[in-house]
Structure 1
Protein backbone atom coordinates (compact mmCIF):
# COMPACT_ATOMS: atom_id res chain seq x y z
CA UNK A 1 0.00 0.00 0.00
CA UNK A 2 0.99 3.59 -0.55
CA UNK A 3 1.03 5.76 2.61
CA UNK A 4 -2.25 7.41 1.62
CA UNK A 5 -3.89 4.00 1.36
CA UNK A 6 -3.15 3.22 4.98
CA UNK A 7 -4.67 6.29 6.60
CA UNK A 8 -7.77 8.41 6.12
CA UNK A 9 -7.36 12.18 6.10
CA UNK A 10 -8.85 13.67 9.27
CA UNK A 11 -8.54 17.36 10.30
CA UNK A 12 -7.78 17.43 14.03
CA UNK A 13 -10.17 20.38 14.56
CA UNK A 14 -13.22 18.43 13.40
CA UNK A 15 -12.70 15.23 15.40
CA UNK A 16 -14.72 14.19 18.40
CA UNK A 17 -12.89 15.54 21.50
CA UNK A 18 -10.44 13.05 22.94
CA UNK A 19 -10.52 12.95 26.75
CA UNK A 20 -7.87 11.92 29.27
CA UNK A 21 -8.48 10.67 32.82
CA UNK A 22 -8.74 13.27 35.57
CA UNK A 23 -9.35 16.12 33.10
CA UNK A 24 -5.69 16.04 32.05
CA UNK A 25 -4.86 18.09 28.97
CA UNK A 26 -2.04 16.12 27.40
CA UNK A 27 0.36 13.20 27.63
CA UNK A 28 4.14 13.38 27.40
CA UNK A 29 6.17 10.32 26.59
CA UNK A 30 9.94 10.39 26.51
CA UNK A 31 11.80 7.88 24.38
CA UNK A 32 15.45 6.96 24.87
CA UNK A 33 17.06 5.31 21.84
CA UNK A 34 19.78 2.80 22.73
CA UNK A 35 21.77 1.48 19.79
CA UNK A 36 24.77 -0.70 19.10
CA UNK A 37 26.81 0.26 16.05
CA UNK A 38 28.62 -2.49 14.15
CA UNK A 39 32.31 -1.47 13.82
CA UNK A 40 32.63 -3.53 10.62
CA UNK A 41 30.05 -1.32 8.88
CA UNK A 42 29.95 2.37 7.96
CA UNK A 43 28.87 4.31 11.04
CA UNK A 44 25.18 5.37 10.99
CA UNK A 45 26.18 8.91 11.98
CA UNK A 46 29.45 10.76 12.42
CA UNK A 47 30.72 13.60 14.57
CA UNK A 48 34.23 13.71 13.11
CA UNK A 49 35.13 13.32 9.45
CA UNK A 50 38.37 11.50 8.61
CA UNK A 51 41.27 13.71 7.40
CA UNK A 52 41.30 12.11 3.93
CA UNK A 53 37.53 11.74 3.60
CA UNK A 54 35.68 8.55 2.77
CA UNK A 55 34.29 5.98 5.22
CA UNK A 56 37.29 4.15 6.68
CA UNK A 57 36.98 1.02 8.80
CA UNK A 58 37.55 0.73 11.61
CA UNK A 59 36.13 4.19 12.30
CA UNK A 60 37.37 4.45 15.87
CA UNK A 61 36.50 8.12 16.60
CA UNK A 62 32.86 7.82 15.57
CA UNK A 63 32.32 4.36 17.02
CA UNK A 64 33.67 5.63 20.36
CA UNK A 65 31.47 8.75 20.15
CA UNK A 66 28.35 6.60 20.11
CA UNK A 67 29.70 4.09 22.63
CA UNK A 68 30.26 6.88 25.16
CA UNK A 69 26.49 7.21 25.32
CA UNK A 70 26.02 3.59 26.35
CA UNK A 71 28.86 3.62 28.90
CA UNK A 72 28.29 7.07 30.43
CA UNK A 73 25.60 9.23 28.85
CA UNK A 74 22.75 6.79 29.40
CA UNK A 75 23.32 6.81 33.15
CA UNK A 76 23.04 10.60 33.26
CA UNK A 77 19.68 10.40 31.52
CA UNK A 78 18.58 7.59 33.81
CA UNK A 79 19.18 9.81 36.83
CA UNK A 80 16.78 12.38 35.39
CA UNK A 81 14.10 9.73 34.91
CA UNK A 82 14.62 8.59 38.49
CA UNK A 83 14.58 12.08 39.98
CA UNK A 84 11.32 13.09 38.28
CA UNK A 85 9.67 9.65 38.44
CA UNK A 86 9.13 9.49 34.69
CA UNK A 87 8.09 6.16 33.14
CA UNK A 88 10.89 5.27 30.77
CA UNK A 89 10.49 4.00 27.21
CA UNK A 90 13.48 2.48 25.46
CA UNK A 91 13.81 1.90 21.73
CA UNK A 92 16.59 -0.66 21.53
CA UNK A 93 18.38 -2.72 18.91
CA UNK A 94 18.32 -6.47 19.47
CA UNK A 95 22.10 -6.58 19.41
CA UNK A 96 22.23 -3.85 22.08
CA UNK A 97 20.04 -5.97 24.37
CA UNK A 98 22.62 -8.73 24.17
CA UNK A 99 25.67 -6.46 24.36
CA UNK A 100 24.67 -4.32 27.39
CA UNK A 101 23.03 -6.54 30.01
CA UNK A 102 23.66 -4.13 32.89
CA UNK A 103 21.95 -1.29 31.06
CA UNK A 104 18.99 -3.50 30.20
CA UNK A 105 18.74 -4.81 33.75
CA UNK A 106 18.67 -1.29 35.19
CA UNK A 107 15.62 -0.55 33.02
CA UNK A 108 13.94 -3.86 33.78
CA UNK A 109 14.23 -3.09 37.49
CA UNK A 110 12.53 0.26 36.88
CA UNK A 111 9.78 -1.37 34.79
CA UNK A 112 10.63 0.55 31.64
CA UNK A 113 8.83 -0.29 28.43
CA UNK A 114 11.05 -1.82 25.73
CA UNK A 115 10.19 -1.00 22.12
CA UNK A 116 11.51 -2.91 19.09
CA UNK A 117 14.07 -0.90 17.13
CA UNK A 118 15.46 -3.36 14.61
CA UNK A 119 17.89 -6.15 15.39
CA UNK A 120 20.74 -4.00 14.07
CA UNK A 121 21.00 -0.25 13.55
CA UNK A 122 20.42 0.00 9.81
CA UNK A 123 17.68 1.07 7.40
CA UNK A 124 14.87 -1.46 7.27
CA UNK A 125 15.13 -1.30 3.47
CA UNK A 126 18.63 -2.81 3.81
CA UNK A 127 17.61 -5.68 6.07
CA UNK A 128 17.82 -8.98 4.21
CA UNK A 129 14.66 -10.49 5.74
CA UNK A 130 12.41 -7.93 7.39
CA UNK A 131 10.04 -10.35 9.08
CA UNK A 132 12.92 -12.36 10.52
CA UNK A 133 14.53 -9.14 11.80
CA UNK A 134 11.30 -8.04 13.49
CA UNK A 135 10.77 -11.48 15.04
CA UNK A 136 14.37 -11.71 16.26
CA UNK A 137 14.19 -8.22 17.79
CA UNK A 138 11.08 -9.20 19.73
CA UNK A 139 12.57 -12.51 20.84
CA UNK A 140 15.70 -11.01 22.41
CA UNK A 141 13.68 -8.33 24.19
CA UNK A 142 11.26 -10.91 25.55
CA UNK A 143 14.12 -13.12 26.71
CA UNK A 144 15.81 -10.24 28.55
CA UNK A 145 12.71 -8.62 30.04
CA UNK A 146 10.12 -11.37 30.26
CA UNK A 147 7.73 -9.33 28.11
CA UNK A 148 7.25 -9.26 24.36
CA UNK A 149 7.43 -5.68 23.01
CA UNK A 150 4.12 -4.11 22.01
CA UNK A 151 5.60 -1.16 20.14
CA UNK A 152 7.99 -0.61 17.25
CA UNK A 153 10.10 2.29 15.98
CA UNK A 154 12.19 1.63 12.89
CA UNK A 155 15.87 2.69 12.94
CA UNK A 156 15.78 6.24 11.62
CA UNK A 157 11.97 5.77 11.25
CA UNK A 158 12.67 3.65 8.17
CA UNK A 159 10.06 1.26 6.79
CA UNK A 160 9.54 -0.88 3.71
CA UNK A 161 6.19 -0.92 1.88
CA UNK A 162 5.20 -3.90 4.07
CA UNK A 163 6.43 -2.91 7.54
CA UNK A 164 3.01 -2.06 9.10
CA UNK A 165 1.56 -5.27 7.66
CA UNK A 166 4.32 -7.42 9.12
CA UNK A 167 4.22 -5.68 12.50
CA UNK A 168 0.46 -6.26 12.79
CA UNK A 169 0.87 -9.89 11.76
CA UNK A 170 3.62 -10.39 14.34
CA UNK A 171 1.42 -9.14 17.16
CA UNK A 172 2.65 -5.57 17.63
CA UNK A 173 0.04 -3.14 18.98
CA UNK A 174 1.56 0.12 17.84
CA UNK A 175 4.21 1.79 15.72
CA UNK A 176 5.64 5.31 16.00
CA UNK A 177 7.24 5.85 12.57
CA UNK A 178 4.41 7.93 11.12
CA UNK A 179 5.06 11.43 12.46
CA UNK A 180 1.94 13.14 11.07
CA UNK A 181 -0.39 13.92 13.97
CA UNK A 182 -0.67 15.09 17.58
CA UNK A 183 -3.07 12.26 18.45
CA UNK A 184 -2.81 8.51 17.86
CA UNK A 185 -4.23 7.32 14.54
CA UNK A 186 -5.13 3.95 13.05
CA UNK A 187 -3.17 2.58 10.10
CA UNK A 188 -4.75 0.08 7.74
CA UNK A 189 -2.81 -3.08 6.96
CA UNK A 190 -3.56 -6.13 4.86
CA UNK A 191 -4.83 -7.70 8.08
CA UNK A 192 -5.91 -6.04 11.31
CA UNK A 193 -5.19 -2.30 11.76
CA UNK A 194 -2.22 -1.11 13.82
CA UNK A 195 -2.11 2.04 15.94
CA UNK A 196 0.39 4.82 15.31
CA UNK A 197 1.40 6.88 18.34
CA UNK A 198 2.73 10.45 17.88
CA UNK A 199 6.52 10.57 17.83
CA UNK A 200 8.75 13.48 16.83
CA UNK A 201 11.29 14.40 14.20
CA UNK A 202 11.96 17.95 15.32
CA UNK A 203 11.87 17.60 19.12
CA UNK A 204 14.58 15.04 18.58
CA UNK A 205 18.23 15.47 19.51
CA UNK A 206 19.45 13.94 16.23
CA UNK A 207 17.72 16.65 14.20
CA UNK A 208 18.70 19.53 16.47
CA UNK A 209 22.24 18.67 17.42
CA UNK A 210 23.58 16.56 14.54
CA UNK A 211 21.74 17.87 11.48
CA UNK A 212 20.89 21.47 12.36
CA UNK A 213 23.93 21.95 14.64
CA UNK A 214 22.21 24.03 17.30
CA UNK A 215 23.67 24.95 20.66
CA UNK A 216 22.77 22.57 23.49
CA UNK A 217 20.12 24.88 24.99
CA UNK A 218 18.04 24.63 21.79
CA UNK A 219 16.79 21.26 22.99
CA UNK A 220 15.19 22.85 26.05
CA UNK A 221 13.87 25.88 24.16
CA UNK A 222 12.26 23.82 21.42
CA UNK A 223 10.78 21.27 23.81
CA UNK A 224 9.16 24.02 25.86
CA UNK A 225 7.86 25.83 22.76
CA UNK A 226 6.31 22.59 21.56
CA UNK A 227 4.86 21.78 24.95
CA UNK A 228 3.28 25.22 25.36
CA UNK A 229 1.63 25.10 21.92
CA UNK A 230 0.27 21.57 22.35
CA UNK A 231 -1.04 22.44 25.81
CA UNK A 232 -2.76 25.52 24.36
CA UNK A 233 -4.26 23.44 21.54
CA UNK A 234 -5.57 20.82 23.96
CA UNK A 235 -7.05 23.40 26.30
CA UNK A 236 -8.59 25.50 23.55
CA UNK A 237 -10.33 22.65 21.71
CA UNK A 238 -10.93 20.46 24.75
CA UNK A 239 -9.22 17.53 23.04
CA UNK A 240 -6.09 15.79 24.33
CA UNK A 241 -2.69 15.96 22.67
CA UNK A 242 0.35 13.66 22.84
CA UNK A 243 3.89 15.02 22.90
CA UNK A 244 7.02 12.96 22.33
CA UNK A 245 10.58 13.81 23.34
CA UNK A 246 13.30 11.74 21.68
CA UNK A 247 16.85 11.44 23.00
CA UNK A 248 19.97 9.37 22.36
CA UNK A 249 22.49 8.77 25.17
CA UNK A 250 25.47 9.77 23.02
CA UNK A 251 23.82 13.11 22.24
CA UNK A 252 21.76 14.41 25.19
CA UNK A 253 23.82 12.32 27.61
CA UNK A 254 26.91 14.35 26.73
CA UNK A 255 28.20 16.52 29.62
CA UNK A 256 27.45 19.84 27.91
CA UNK A 257 23.85 18.89 27.03
CA UNK A 258 22.48 16.78 29.88
CA UNK A 259 21.38 19.71 32.03
CA UNK A 260 18.97 20.89 29.32
CA UNK A 261 17.25 17.52 29.31
CA UNK A 262 16.78 17.88 33.07
CA UNK A 263 15.42 21.44 32.75
CA UNK A 264 12.54 20.23 30.57
CA UNK A 265 11.15 18.06 33.35
CA UNK A 266 11.82 20.61 36.04
CA UNK A 267 9.38 22.81 34.13
CA UNK A 268 6.78 20.37 32.80
CA UNK A 269 6.46 18.36 36.02
CA UNK A 270 4.93 21.45 37.66
CA UNK A 271 1.85 21.11 35.43
CA UNK A 272 -0.64 18.98 37.36
CA UNK A 273 -2.86 18.30 34.34
CA UNK A 274 -0.12 16.70 32.25
CA UNK A 275 0.42 12.94 32.31
CA UNK A 276 3.69 11.08 31.77
CA UNK A 277 2.94 7.72 30.18
CA UNK A 278 4.63 4.92 28.30
CA UNK A 279 3.72 4.02 24.74
CA UNK A 280 1.62 1.08 25.88
CA UNK A 281 -0.32 3.27 28.30
CA UNK A 282 -1.08 5.69 25.46
CA UNK A 283 -2.19 2.82 23.22
CA UNK A 284 -4.44 1.29 25.89
CA UNK A 285 -6.07 4.64 26.63
CA UNK A 286 -6.68 5.49 22.97
CA UNK A 287 -8.24 2.10 22.23
CA UNK A 288 -10.89 2.91 24.87
CA UNK A 289 -11.25 6.69 24.44
CA UNK A 290 -10.60 7.18 20.73
CA UNK A 291 -12.34 6.10 17.52
CA UNK A 292 -12.59 2.41 16.89
CA UNK A 293 -10.17 0.69 14.57
CA UNK A 294 -11.36 0.57 10.95
CA UNK A 295 -12.79 -2.71 9.79
Structure 2
Protein backbone atom coordinates (compact mmCIF):
# COMPACT_ATOMS: atom_id res chain seq x y z
CA UNK A 1 0.00 0.00 0.00
CA UNK A 2 1.95 3.00 -1.28
CA UNK A 3 1.48 6.10 0.86
CA UNK A 4 3.23 9.44 0.89
CA UNK A 5 4.94 10.36 4.18
CA UNK A 6 2.26 12.96 5.02
CA UNK A 7 -0.39 10.28 4.54
CA UNK A 8 1.37 8.08 7.08
CA UNK A 9 1.84 10.92 9.58
CA UNK A 10 0.32 14.41 9.32
CA UNK A 11 2.59 17.33 10.16
CA UNK A 12 3.09 17.78 13.91
CA UNK A 13 4.90 20.67 15.60
CA UNK A 14 6.82 19.53 18.66
CA UNK A 15 5.47 22.47 20.71
CA UNK A 16 1.90 21.26 20.14
CA UNK A 17 2.45 17.82 21.71
CA UNK A 18 2.30 16.90 25.39
CA UNK A 19 5.91 16.72 26.62
CA UNK A 20 7.40 13.28 27.12
CA UNK A 21 9.30 12.77 30.38
CA UNK A 22 12.29 10.52 30.98
CA UNK A 23 12.73 8.62 34.27
CA UNK A 24 13.96 10.53 37.30
CA UNK A 25 16.02 13.61 36.48
CA UNK A 26 17.20 12.33 33.09
CA UNK A 27 17.00 14.98 30.39
CA UNK A 28 18.67 13.41 27.36
CA UNK A 29 19.13 9.89 26.05
CA UNK A 30 22.29 9.30 24.05
CA UNK A 31 21.49 6.56 21.53
CA UNK A 32 24.57 4.88 20.07
CA UNK A 33 24.24 3.12 16.72
CA UNK A 34 27.18 1.16 15.33
CA UNK A 35 26.77 0.35 11.63
CA UNK A 36 28.31 -2.86 10.27
CA UNK A 37 28.08 -3.48 6.54
CA UNK A 38 29.19 -5.90 3.83
CA UNK A 39 30.54 -4.28 0.68
CA UNK A 40 30.42 -6.83 -2.14
CA UNK A 41 33.70 -6.64 -4.09
CA UNK A 42 31.75 -7.45 -7.27
CA UNK A 43 29.74 -4.20 -7.12
CA UNK A 44 30.66 -0.51 -6.92
CA UNK A 45 31.53 0.37 -3.34
CA UNK A 46 28.90 1.94 -1.09
CA UNK A 47 31.15 5.00 -0.80
CA UNK A 48 34.67 6.04 -1.65
CA UNK A 49 37.50 7.51 0.37
CA UNK A 50 39.67 7.81 -2.73
CA UNK A 51 38.28 8.59 -6.20
CA UNK A 52 39.02 6.33 -9.14
CA UNK A 53 41.91 7.39 -11.41
CA UNK A 54 40.69 9.91 -14.03
CA UNK A 55 37.21 9.53 -12.50
CA UNK A 56 36.56 6.18 -14.18
CA UNK A 57 34.91 3.68 -11.83
CA UNK A 58 36.79 0.39 -11.94
CA UNK A 59 35.84 -3.06 -10.68
CA UNK A 60 37.04 -4.57 -8.49
CA UNK A 61 37.54 -1.42 -6.42
CA UNK A 62 40.22 -2.80 -4.13
CA UNK A 63 41.38 0.41 -2.37
CA UNK A 64 37.90 1.46 -1.26
CA UNK A 65 36.85 -2.09 -0.44
CA UNK A 66 39.93 -2.57 1.74
CA UNK A 67 39.31 0.81 3.44
CA UNK A 68 35.99 -0.61 4.59
CA UNK A 69 37.66 -3.91 5.48
CA UNK A 70 39.95 -2.04 7.91
CA UNK A 71 36.87 -1.31 9.98
CA UNK A 72 36.02 -4.98 10.34
CA UNK A 73 39.58 -6.13 10.94
CA UNK A 74 40.71 -3.32 13.27
CA UNK A 75 38.33 -0.40 13.84
CA UNK A 76 35.39 -2.34 15.25
CA UNK A 77 37.62 -3.85 17.94
CA UNK A 78 38.29 -0.35 19.23
CA UNK A 79 34.52 0.04 19.52
CA UNK A 80 34.17 -3.21 21.44
CA UNK A 81 36.86 -2.12 23.87
CA UNK A 82 35.31 1.33 24.37
CA UNK A 83 31.77 0.12 25.02
CA UNK A 84 32.89 -2.65 27.32
CA UNK A 85 34.78 -0.05 29.35
CA UNK A 86 31.77 2.28 29.47
CA UNK A 87 29.25 -0.46 30.16
CA UNK A 88 27.19 0.61 27.14
CA UNK A 89 25.33 -1.88 24.93
CA UNK A 90 24.85 -0.04 21.62
CA UNK A 91 22.35 -0.68 18.90
CA UNK A 92 24.03 -2.58 16.07
CA UNK A 93 22.68 -1.66 12.64
CA UNK A 94 23.89 -4.74 10.81
CA UNK A 95 23.67 -6.16 7.32
CA UNK A 96 22.48 -9.74 7.84
CA UNK A 97 25.31 -10.91 5.62
CA UNK A 98 27.77 -9.80 8.32
CA UNK A 99 26.65 -12.87 10.28
CA UNK A 100 27.90 -14.99 7.38
CA UNK A 101 30.98 -13.14 6.09
CA UNK A 102 32.18 -11.73 9.43
CA UNK A 103 30.78 -14.19 11.94
CA UNK A 104 33.60 -13.42 14.40
CA UNK A 105 32.54 -9.77 14.57
CA UNK A 106 28.80 -10.46 14.75
CA UNK A 107 29.31 -13.04 17.49
CA UNK A 108 31.36 -10.59 19.54
CA UNK A 109 28.50 -8.09 19.43
CA UNK A 110 25.90 -10.74 20.20
CA UNK A 111 27.84 -12.10 23.15
CA UNK A 112 28.42 -8.57 24.49
CA UNK A 113 24.67 -8.03 24.62
CA UNK A 114 24.42 -5.45 21.85
CA UNK A 115 20.97 -4.86 20.35
CA UNK A 116 20.78 -6.06 16.73
CA UNK A 117 18.84 -3.84 14.32
CA UNK A 118 18.01 -4.89 10.75
CA UNK A 119 20.00 -3.16 8.00
CA UNK A 120 19.01 -5.24 4.92
CA UNK A 121 21.16 -8.17 3.68
CA UNK A 122 24.21 -6.36 2.28
CA UNK A 123 24.97 -2.73 1.60
CA UNK A 124 23.06 -1.42 -1.40
CA UNK A 125 20.13 1.01 -1.82
CA UNK A 126 16.82 -0.61 -1.06
CA UNK A 127 15.51 0.79 -4.36
CA UNK A 128 17.91 -1.55 -6.20
CA UNK A 129 16.64 -4.77 -4.65
CA UNK A 130 14.93 -7.18 -7.02
CA UNK A 131 12.44 -8.21 -4.33
CA UNK A 132 12.42 -5.74 -1.43
CA UNK A 133 9.83 -7.62 0.63
CA UNK A 134 11.65 -10.96 0.37
CA UNK A 135 15.01 -9.40 1.21
CA UNK A 136 13.62 -7.68 4.29
CA UNK A 137 12.12 -10.94 5.56
CA UNK A 138 15.32 -12.84 4.75
CA UNK A 139 17.43 -10.29 6.61
CA UNK A 140 15.24 -10.38 9.70
CA UNK A 141 15.14 -14.18 9.66
CA UNK A 142 18.95 -14.47 9.49
CA UNK A 143 19.39 -12.07 12.42
CA UNK A 144 16.77 -13.89 14.47
CA UNK A 145 18.44 -17.22 13.83
CA UNK A 146 21.87 -15.83 14.70
CA UNK A 147 20.89 -14.05 17.91
CA UNK A 148 17.88 -16.08 19.04
CA UNK A 149 15.73 -12.94 19.03
CA UNK A 150 13.91 -11.14 16.25
CA UNK A 151 15.13 -7.54 15.94
CA UNK A 152 12.69 -4.80 16.80
CA UNK A 153 14.46 -2.07 14.86
CA UNK A 154 15.37 -1.36 11.25
CA UNK A 155 17.61 1.13 9.46
CA UNK A 156 17.60 1.22 5.68
CA UNK A 157 20.98 1.10 3.91
CA UNK A 158 21.85 4.76 3.48
CA UNK A 159 18.46 5.38 5.16
CA UNK A 160 16.82 4.40 1.85
CA UNK A 161 13.12 3.54 1.64
CA UNK A 162 10.49 3.35 -1.07
CA UNK A 163 6.92 4.40 -0.39
CA UNK A 164 6.09 0.73 0.26
CA UNK A 165 8.94 -0.03 2.65
CA UNK A 166 7.08 0.70 5.92
CA UNK A 167 4.46 -1.89 4.98
CA UNK A 168 7.05 -4.60 4.38
CA UNK A 169 8.86 -3.74 7.61
CA UNK A 170 5.72 -3.90 9.76
CA UNK A 171 4.80 -7.20 8.11
CA UNK A 172 8.26 -8.58 8.97
CA UNK A 173 7.84 -7.74 12.65
CA UNK A 174 9.76 -4.45 12.82
CA UNK A 175 8.57 -2.15 15.62
CA UNK A 176 10.76 0.92 15.10
CA UNK A 177 12.77 2.56 12.33
CA UNK A 178 15.55 5.13 12.17
CA UNK A 179 15.16 6.28 8.57
CA UNK A 180 12.91 9.27 9.30
CA UNK A 181 15.30 11.83 10.82
CA UNK A 182 12.58 14.37 11.51
CA UNK A 183 12.39 14.87 15.27
CA UNK A 184 14.10 14.96 18.68
CA UNK A 185 11.75 12.38 20.18
CA UNK A 186 9.94 9.19 19.14
CA UNK A 187 6.97 9.53 16.83
CA UNK A 188 4.73 7.19 14.84
CA UNK A 189 3.76 6.49 11.25
CA UNK A 190 0.80 4.46 9.98
CA UNK A 191 0.94 1.08 8.23
CA UNK A 192 -1.69 -1.51 7.44
CA UNK A 193 -0.16 -3.73 10.15
CA UNK A 194 -0.28 -1.03 12.83
CA UNK A 195 1.98 1.89 13.72
CA UNK A 196 5.75 1.99 13.29
CA UNK A 197 7.67 4.10 15.80
CA UNK A 198 10.31 6.42 14.37
CA UNK A 199 13.31 6.99 16.63
CA UNK A 200 15.54 10.06 16.21
CA UNK A 201 18.44 8.72 14.17
CA UNK A 202 20.80 11.31 12.72
CA UNK A 203 22.48 12.54 9.58
CA UNK A 204 23.84 15.65 11.30
CA UNK A 205 25.80 13.73 13.96
CA UNK A 206 26.73 10.83 11.71
CA UNK A 207 30.34 10.18 10.80
CA UNK A 208 29.62 9.51 7.11
CA UNK A 209 28.11 12.93 6.23
CA UNK A 210 30.55 14.64 8.59
CA UNK A 211 33.78 12.88 7.63
CA UNK A 212 33.32 11.10 4.31
CA UNK A 213 31.05 13.67 2.61
CA UNK A 214 31.70 17.10 4.16
CA UNK A 215 35.32 16.20 5.04
CA UNK A 216 35.22 17.95 8.41
CA UNK A 217 38.18 17.48 10.72
CA UNK A 218 37.68 15.29 13.75
CA UNK A 219 37.81 18.08 16.37
CA UNK A 220 34.88 19.78 14.61
CA UNK A 221 32.90 16.54 14.80
CA UNK A 222 33.41 16.53 18.57
CA UNK A 223 32.45 20.20 18.83
CA UNK A 224 29.21 19.59 16.96
CA UNK A 225 28.33 16.85 19.43
CA UNK A 226 29.06 19.14 22.36
CA UNK A 227 26.99 21.97 20.90
CA UNK A 228 24.10 19.60 20.22
CA UNK A 229 24.23 18.07 23.67
CA UNK A 230 24.37 21.47 25.35
CA UNK A 231 21.17 22.61 23.67
CA UNK A 232 19.30 19.33 24.07
CA UNK A 233 20.34 19.10 27.72
CA UNK A 234 18.93 22.58 28.35
CA UNK A 235 15.68 21.80 26.51
CA UNK A 236 15.49 18.43 28.24
CA UNK A 237 14.44 20.13 31.45
CA UNK A 238 11.00 20.62 29.88
CA UNK A 239 10.67 17.59 27.61
CA UNK A 240 12.60 14.41 26.82
CA UNK A 241 15.29 14.61 24.16
CA UNK A 242 17.00 11.83 22.21
CA UNK A 243 20.38 12.30 20.54
CA UNK A 244 21.90 9.69 18.24
CA UNK A 245 25.57 8.87 17.78
CA UNK A 246 25.85 7.10 14.40
CA UNK A 247 29.26 5.60 13.65
CA UNK A 248 31.05 3.22 11.29
CA UNK A 249 34.24 1.34 12.21
CA UNK A 250 36.07 2.25 9.00
CA UNK A 251 35.58 5.94 9.86
CA UNK A 252 35.32 6.50 13.62
CA UNK A 253 37.39 3.39 14.33
CA UNK A 254 40.44 4.95 12.66
CA UNK A 255 43.36 5.65 15.03
CA UNK A 256 43.23 9.41 14.38
CA UNK A 257 39.50 9.62 15.24
CA UNK A 258 38.80 7.16 18.05
CA UNK A 259 39.83 9.57 20.82
CA UNK A 260 37.18 12.05 19.69
CA UNK A 261 34.51 9.38 19.96
CA UNK A 262 35.74 8.58 23.46
CA UNK A 263 35.52 12.27 24.38
CA UNK A 264 31.87 12.42 23.31
CA UNK A 265 30.96 9.99 26.08
CA UNK A 266 33.20 11.73 28.60
CA UNK A 267 31.44 15.00 27.87
CA UNK A 268 27.95 13.49 27.98
CA UNK A 269 28.69 11.90 31.34
CA UNK A 270 30.03 15.20 32.69
CA UNK A 271 26.70 16.94 32.04
CA UNK A 272 24.79 14.59 34.30
CA UNK A 273 21.16 13.67 33.64
CA UNK A 274 22.17 11.83 30.44
CA UNK A 275 21.18 8.17 29.95
CA UNK A 276 22.91 5.79 27.54
CA UNK A 277 20.22 3.58 26.02
CA UNK A 278 19.87 1.45 22.92
CA UNK A 279 16.91 1.57 20.54
CA UNK A 280 14.90 -1.17 22.22
CA UNK A 281 15.21 0.59 25.59
CA UNK A 282 14.00 3.85 24.02
CA UNK A 283 11.10 2.02 22.39
CA UNK A 284 10.09 0.36 25.67
CA UNK A 285 10.17 3.71 27.49
CA UNK A 286 8.12 5.40 24.78
CA UNK A 287 5.55 2.58 24.70
CA UNK A 288 5.21 2.71 28.50
CA UNK A 289 4.87 6.53 28.38
CA UNK A 290 2.01 6.24 25.91
CA UNK A 291 0.26 3.68 28.10
CA UNK A 292 0.40 6.04 31.09
CA UNK A 293 -0.83 9.05 29.11
Aligned partner of residue 107 in structure 1, secondary structure = helix
Tell me how far 1:292 sits from its aligned partner: 9.3
Tell me what 2:126 maps to. Answer: 124
Match of 1:11 among 10, 13, 28: 13
Tell me how far 1:22 sits from its aligned partner: 1.5
CA contact (8 A) 2:155 2:178 kept: yes
Tell me what 1:173 maps to. Answer: 175
Runs of 5+ consecutive residues of structure 1 not aligned to the other structure: none
Instruction: Spell out, residue by residue over 1:109-155, the C-alpha distance to the aligned partner (whole angstroms, 9 max, x if none).
Output: 11100000010101101011111111111111112111111100000
Instruction: Decide which moves more: 265-274 or 280-289.
Output: 265-274
Tell me what 1:288 maps to. Answer: 288
Instruction: Decide which moves more: 251-260 or 12-21.
Output: 12-21
CA distance in 2, matches of 1:182, 1:214: 24
Aligned partner of residue 71 in structure 1, secondary structure = helix
Q: Is 1:220–2:228 an aligned residue pair?
A: no
TM-score, length-scaled by structure 1:
0.96
CA distance in 1, matches of 2:158, 2:202: 11
CA contact (8 A) 2:140 2:172 kept: no
Instruction: Decide which moves more: 112-121 or 49-58.
Output: 49-58
TM-score, length-scaled by structure 2:
0.96
Aligned partner of residue 54 in structure 2, secondary structure = coil
1:115-194 aligned at under 5 Å gives the runs 115-194=117-196
CA distance in 2, matches of 1:61, 1:213: 18
Tell me what 2:4 maps to. Answer: 2
Tell me what 1:277 maps to. Answer: 277
CA distance in 2, matches of 1:292, 1:175: 23
User: How many residues align structurally?
Assistant: 291
Match of 1:77 among 76, 79, 87: 79
Tell me what 1:243 maps to. Answer: 243
Tell me what 1:45 maps to. Answer: 47
Tell me what 1:21 maps to. Answer: 23
Taking a change above 3 Å as real, the CA distance of residues 215 and 245 of structure 1, as seen in their structure-2 partners, is same
CA distance in 1, matches of 2:290, 2:70: 41
CA distance in 2, matches of 1:110, 1:191: 32
Aligned partner of residue 290 in structure 1, secondary structure = helix
Tell me how far 1:214 sits from its aligned partner: 0.7
CA distance in 2, matches of 1:105, 1:87: 14
Tell me what 2:253 maps to. Answer: 253
CA distance in 2, matches of 1:128, 1:30: 31
Instruction: Spell out, residue by residue over 1:185-219, the C-alpha distance to the aligned partner (whole angstroms, 9 max, x if none).
Output: 01011231111110000100001101111111122
Aligned partner of residue 218 in structure 2, secondary structure = coil
Tell me what 1:93 maps to. Answer: 95
Tell me how far 1:248 sits from its aligned partner: 0.3
CA contact (8 A) 2:26 2:273 kept: yes
Aligned partner of residue 244 in structure 1, secondary structure = strand
CA distance in 2, matches of 1:164, 1:51: 39
Tell me what 1:208 maps to. Answer: 210
CA contact (8 A) 1:84 1:269 kept: no
Tell me how far 1:291 sits from its aligned partner: 7.6
CA distance in 2, matches of 1:108, 1:271: 30
